[in-house]
Structure 1
Amino acid sequence: MERILIQLDNYLIKTLAYNKQARILFVENTDLIRAVCNHDHMNKLLKTALGKTVSIASMLTGILKGTQRISLKVKTSNHNYKIFADVDSKGNVRGYISDELLNAPSDYLNNLSIEQLIGARGCIQVTTDIGMNNVFTGITDMPYGNIVDDMSHYFKQSEQTPSWFSVHIVFNEKNEIVLSRGVMAQLLPGAPVRLIHRIRNVISDHQSYLVDPENSKTFKGLPYSIFDDIDIVGIEPVRLFCGCSKEILYPMLYALDKEELANAYENNSLLEIVCNVCGKKHTFDSSEIESLI
C-alpha cells in the first residue's frame, strides 16, 4: 500500500475503508480554528461552539465537488443566538457567531454548558449549493445539544446517510486553543448500517491520537495505524478564507452618524471597521470618508 506524506499544517485526509464501503475523513485544523476563534469577546464556551461548527465544515469539504458549497447554521433556543460556518470544495472555510451571541453578558455565558446554550429548541440548518442554481436546505432538531452528535443526527434524519462525527478541541490553562482535530465517517450506498458503529468504536479506542498535541506525527499516520483495510485517496489543505474587502465593507460607513463622519474628516482621523467573520481590520482615511459627506 503506497503511503502519502503530509506536509501541510491544516489538512484533510480523505480515505476509503472496509472494501470501499465507507469514507473516513481526518482533519488537523488547529491553526484554522485558533484563527477563527481569535476574538476578544469569545470565552471558552463560544470558542468551543464555534470551533466545533467550523471543524465540521472543514470535514464536509471532503464530500464536495466542483463549485459545490455547504453552509451550516446552528440556532439556539434563543434564535438571536446563532453560529455560522460555510465551506467550498476547495477547502476554504469560514465561520462566525451572531453579534447578539457574541455580545451576550459574560456572566450569563460563563455559567453555561454548550447543551444549556443550545437548549431544548435548538436546530441545525444545512444549505447545500450543488451549482447551476440548485440549492437544497435541510433542517433538523438538536436532541443532543452538543453540535457534533447533532450533525450525525442531521445526516441520518435529513439525508438518510449513516454518518458519525468526532471533534476534539483542547485548551490550555489560559483558555487558548492548542489543538483541534476531527474525524468524519460516512457509509456509502450498499454498506451495512452496523459498519458505522464499528468505525466509531475503532476511533473511540484511539482517542489519545486525537487529543494529544505531541502526537502530530502520529496523527498523520493515524488511518494506517488503526485500520487494516484503508486507502488514502487524497490530502487537501483547509484554510480560513473570508473574502472580505474594503469595497465590500464600505457601505457600512453609511450606518455611522453624519456628524461622526464629518468630525473624522475634519480631524483627518481614521475610521476602522472590523469584519465580523474573520476579524480583519479595514481602515478608511479622510479622503475615503470625504466621498460620503
Structure 2
Amino acid sequence: GFLEVIKDMGLRQPFIGRVPLVSGEIGEDFANYFLVSEQIPSLISLGVLVAPDLSIKAAGGLFVQAMPGADDKVLEKIERQVFSLGPISYLLDKSSSLEEIMEQIMQDIPYKLVGEKPLQFKCNCSHERLARIMASLSSEELQEIEASVGKLEVCCNFCNEVYGFTQEEIATIKKQKP
C-alpha cells in the first residue's frame, strides 16, 4: 500500500506526497514519508492505551524532526531513548506532564521547549466554499448538473465531509455567473 499526504498550503492546488508503506505502523510510515518525500529525518512515536472498559485511557504521540545541519547522532540517541522508555501511551498515562516526558527522553541533550499547542482535526471546507468552487464550472457543466435528478453531493477531499446541493441551489449558482 501507499501513504498519501495532502497538504493545503493555501495555493491553487494542494501538495500531494505519496510513498510506499514500509511497515504498516503509522508512526514508522509517516517518518519514512518525511525522510523520502520531504528529506527531513524524523522520529514519530504514536500510541493509544485502552482501559479494560474499552475507553481511551491515554493517547498521544511524539514528533521530532531534525533541524537543518543537525547531528544525525543526536537524533539517533533520542530515538534509542524513546524506544527504551516503552510505548508513548504508557508514558502519557504514568507521567504528570509533557515536560517530565521530555526530561526522560532528552536527559543530557540540551533542548528548549518553544511552546505547546493543542492539536485538532480541522478542515476549512464549507457549503459556501464548495458553492464558490461550483461557480467556477462552465455554464455547460452547471446545465448538466441542473438537469440531473435529485441533488448533487460533493465530497471534500480532505475531511470526507459530504455537502448536498439541491437543483434550486445549482440554479442560483448558475444565475450568479457573469
Q: Output the CA distance in 1 between the equivalents of 2:39 and 2:7.
A: 15
The answer to whether the 8 A contact 1:127-1:137 is kept is yes
What is the rounded CA distance, in whole Å, between the counterparts of 1:131 and 1:143 in structure 2? 30
8 Å CA contact 2:6–2:14 kept in 1: the answer is yes
Q: CA distance change for structure 1 residues 199 and 278 in 2, over 3 Å: closer, same or farther?
A: same
Q: How does 1:1-293 map to 2 (within 5 A)?
A: 122-133=1-12, 135-207=14-86, 210-212=89-91, 214-227=93-106, 228=108, 229-241=110-122, 254=151
Tell me how far 1:141 sits from its aligned partner.
0.3
Q: CA deviation at 1:156?
A: 1.4
| CA–CA separation in structure 1 for the residues paired with 2:26 and 2:87 | 22
Would you tell me which structure has more strand in proportion to its own residues?
Answer: 1
| Number of aligned residues | 139
Q: 1:124, 1:139 within 8 Å by CA — same for their partners in 2?
A: yes
Q: Counterparts of 1:245 and 1:239 in 2: how far apart (Å)?
A: 17
Contact map agreement 1:123 1:142 (CA 8 A) in 2: yes
Higher relative contact order, chain-length normalized (CA < 8 Å, sep 6+): 1
Q: 1:212 to 1:156 in 2, by over 3 A?
A: closer
Q: How many angstroms apart in 2 are the aligned matches of 1:168 and 1:151?
A: 14
Pair member with larger Rg: 2
**TM-score scaled to structure 1, two decimals?**
0.39
Tell me the secondary structure at the aligned position of residue 226 of structure 1.
helix
CA RMSD of aligned residues (A): 3.4
Cα deviation, residue 213, structure 1: 5.5
SS in 2 for 1:152: helix
Q: CA deviation at 1:147?
A: 2.0
Structure 1 unaligned segments of length 5 or more: list them: 1-121, 256-276, 280-290
| Residue 191 of structure 1, CA deviation | 1.7
